[in-house]
Amino acid sequence: MAKIGRQKKKQIKVKKEKFIPQSLKGMRDILPEEGKYFDYFLEKLEKLAKIYGFEKIEIPILEEKSLFTRSIGQTTDIVEKEMFSFVDKGGREVALRPEGTAGVVRAYIENGMQNLPQPVKLYYFGPMFRYEKPQAGRERQFHQFGLEVLGAAGPIVDVQLILLCWNFFQEIKLQTELQINCLGCPDCQKEYRRRLLEFFRYKKRLLCPNCRIRLEKSPLRIFDCKEKKCQEISSTAPSIVDCLCEACKNHFIKVLENLDELEIPYNLNSRLVRGLDYYTKTVFEFWPSRIGLSDEEKSRFSLAGGGRYDNLVKILGGPVTPAAGVAFGLERITEEFKNQNLKLPKERRNIVFLAQIGETAKKKALHLFENLVKAKIDIKEALAKDSLKAQLELANKIGAKLVLILGQDEVAHKTIIIKDMRTGIQEVVNVDKIVEEIKKRL
Ligand code: AMP
């Protein structure tokens, strides 16, 4: 017995490691303070989306991994290095979505949306996942608002998407620069590949091992390389615009002509390739525009990006369906909004705060609160608090115009105190007339 007792004591002495749960690297909470920015941007984006005839779609966060490898491309950074993928209990290879377009296209095909009147215009919002090296503006979980137009080939669609982005950034007063390029069709890209191979014939050895493979498999990806040396070499490479076929050239010219007409300034950027294989023809990004930011930084903090993807529906097993889309990064827009010293507009609200003192009044206040909500009063409470001082401080902090005070006496006499926070004047009124009394004073 004595032995067991000693053993037990020993076990007790073993230090237990404290478990302190933490969010995963590159993933963070969006606290209410940041959430307010998200709400503001989302409200504007959704409103604009609806004006342009987009409808909301919710797509799963988890999809078959092959959906992304096929659409985004095997040699892209997203697929090669950044996929959050795993094998599920049924032995299927699945992945957390790194972007929204592939899922929307899958949904379009799977739900027979090609039979609906075209184009089908969809918008989505939600978290995306990329296993990137976390750094400023680059997180492993981030939020995108995206728009997709499926079943429309004309350059006007590209222009409208850009216009929608432009209107959004104008509305929130964010200074941005539009970067635009044309990646052509597979024929143009074949010719471009030939020219790139020729250009790199004697320089190939100087490229990083990854770019040497890229050159063989998907030469446009060379422009995604973050290695300084590769960037230096590729900066003098031929431009894809010189390889465009007549149809792609005309498409691009029409996009630019329309932008000119709309007086939307743009920068022709032949190095803009967008890191995903499915793009054809127009690609564009909105970069933050701020004194002191280099082009490299602007591109690293790109706020929104999109383009045309005329072959993706076909690649994923659907009928030939031209399409285009764009995605906005909510975290980056929030950050840049703050960097440009912009402020959220002050809400003009008529907040009424309901304060209570004592148990009986608390009970009564619980019901009164519900009635005031039904009467569409912008009512706030702090029923969990007992101290009147604490409640008044809170009412002040949230900018309440009126405070209603319910105490034991008031309950007994079926009255309530109304305090006007601007003048400090307090009046006792009949509790049954409270809605009228509030409306009189707001
Ligand atoms: P992409 O799908 O890469 O074109 O991204 C579209 C937008 O999403 C970008 O312009 C960024 O605003 C945002 N974004 C992309 N990757 C990240 C990331 N790792 N962290 C935060 N935002 C991102």
Residue 4 lies in a domain: no
Q: 358 and 326 share a domain? A: no
Of 214, 226, 249, nearest in space to 133 by CA: 226
Q: 296 and 153 share a domain? A: yes
Q: Which of 28, 138, 143, 178 to mutate to test the pocket of ligand 1 (most atoms within 8 A of CB)?
A: 138
Q: 169 and 116 share a domain? A: yes
Among residues 297, 318, 339, which one ends one of the domains? 339
Per-residue pLDDT, 13 = 59
pLDDT digit string (tens) for 299-324?
999 999 999 999 999 999 999 999 99
Measuring from atom 13 of ligand 1, which residue has the nearest CA? 329
CATH number assigned to the domain comprising residue 266: 3.30.930.10
For the chain, give the percent of residues with pLDDT over 90. 81
Structure token digits, residue 232: 């230096």
Q: 287 and 361 share a domain? A: no
Q: Which residues of 52-66 are buried (b: 16+ CB within 10 A; e: fewer)?
A: eebeebebeebbbbe
From the alpha carbon of 328, which atom of ligand 1 is closest? 7
More confident residue, 387 or 235: 387
pLDDT digit string (tens) for 157-175?
999 999 999 999 999 999 9
Range of the domain at 399: 352-441
What's the gap in Å between 156 CA and the centre of ligand 1? 25
What's the gap in Å between 385 CA and the centre of ligand 1? 43
Among residues 339, 363, 395, which one ends one of the domains? 339
Q: 270 and 382 share a domain? A: no
Structure token digits, residue 333: 């827009």
| CA distance linking residue 363 with residue 431, whole number of Å | 14
SS (H, E, C) 130-173: CCCCCECCECCEEEEEEEEEECCCCHHHHHHHHHHHHHHHHHCC
β 55-56/120-129 pair status: parallel
Task: Tell the burial category of 330 from Cβ atoms under 10 Å away from its Cβ (0-12, 13-18, 19+).
Answer: buried
β 379-381/352-356 pair status: parallel
Among residues 294, 313, 339, which one ends one of the domains? 339
Average pLDDT of 48-71? 97
pLDDT band at 376 (very low <50, low <70, confident <90, very high): very high
pLDDT digit string (tens) for 109-133?
999 999 999 999 999 999 999 999 9
What does pLDDT average to over the chain? 93
The alpha carbon of 327 is separated from its chain's Cα centroid by a whole number of angstroms, namely: 7
Q: 287 and 152 share a domain? A: yes
Tokens 């890191």, located at residue? 275
Structure token digits, residue 173: 């007063």
What's the gap in Å between 96 CA and the centre of ligand 1? 15
Which residues is 287 bridged to in the sheet? 177
pLDDT digit string (tens) for 403-438?
999 999 999 999 999 999 999 999 999 999 999 999
From the alpha carbon of 99, which atom of ligand 1 is closest? 2
What's the number of CA atoms in the CB half-sphere (13 Å) around residue 441? 25
Q: 279 and 379 share a domain? A: no
Q: 111 and 49 share a domain? A: yes
Tokens 């690609």, located at residue? 283
Per-residue pLDDT, 6 = 52
Per-residue pLDDT, 403 = 97
Residue 159 lies in a domain: yes
pLDDT digit string (tens) for 172-209?
999 999 999 999 999 999 999 899 889 988 888 899 99
pLDDT band at 1 (very low <50, low <70, confident <90, very high): very low
Q: Is 214 helix (H, G, I), strand (E, B) or coil?
A: helix
Residue 231 lies in a domain: no
Residue 191 lies in a domain: no
Q: 419 and 308 share a domain? A: no
From the alpha carbon of 306, which atom of ligand 1 is closest? 4
Q: 105 and 135 share a domain? A: yes
Average pLDDT of 353-371? 97
Quote the number of domains for the chain.
2
More confident residue, 377 or 296: 377
Dihedral sign for Cα 69, 75, 78, 83, please: positive
The alpha carbon of 429 is separated from its chain's Cα centroid by a whole number of angstroms, namely: 48
**The pLDDT of residue 369 is above 90:** yes
Residue 264 lies in a domain: yes
pLDDT band at 8 (very low <50, low <70, confident <90, very high): low
H helix or E strand, kind and range, residue 121: strand 120-129
pLDDT band at 235 (very low <50, low <70, confident <90, very high): confident
Measuring from atom 2 of ligand 1, which residue has the nearest CA? 99
Lowest model confidence (mean pLDDT) among 88-92, 214-218, 327-331: 214-218
**The pLDDT of residue 4 is above 50:** no
pLDDT band at 2 (very low <50, low <70, confident <90, very high): very low
Q: 57 and 90 share a domain? A: yes
H helix or E strand, kind and range, residue 51: helix 32-51
pLDDT digit string (tens) for 66-89?
999 999 888 788 888 899 999 999
Lowest model confidence (mean pLDDT) among 251-255, 328-332, 345-349: 345-349
Residue 327, phi-psi category: left (phi > 0), alpha (psi -120 to 50), beta (remainder)? beta
**The pLDDT of residue 10 is above 70:** no
Q: 65 and 180 share a domain? A: yes
pLDDT band at 14 (very low <50, low <70, confident <90, very high): low
* Total-model pTM: 0.88
CATH number assigned to the domain comprising residue 429: 3.40.50.800
What's the gap in Å between 329 CA and the centre of ligand 1? 5
Give residues with Cβ within 8 angstroms of 378, minimum separation 6: 349, 350, 351, 352
The binding-site residues of ligand 1, defined as CB within 6 angstroms of any ligand atom, are 99, 130, 132, 137-139, 142, 144, 275, 302-305, 327, 329, 331-332
Of 332, 287, 344, 279, nearest in space to 306 by CA: 279
Structure token digits, residue 172: 């929130």
Residue 198 lies in a domain: no
Per-residue pLDDT, 385 = 96
pLDDT band at 277 (very low <50, low <70, confident <90, very high): confident
Measuring from atom 4 of ligand 1, which residue has the nearest CA? 305
CB 380 within 8 A of CB 389: no
| CA distance linking residue 286 with residue 144, whole number of Å | 14
Could you tell me where the beta strands, DSSP code E, fall in 151-265?
176-182
Residue 226 lies in a domain: no
Residue 213 lies in a domain: no
Average pLDDT of 272-289? 93
Per-residue pLDDT, 98 = 96
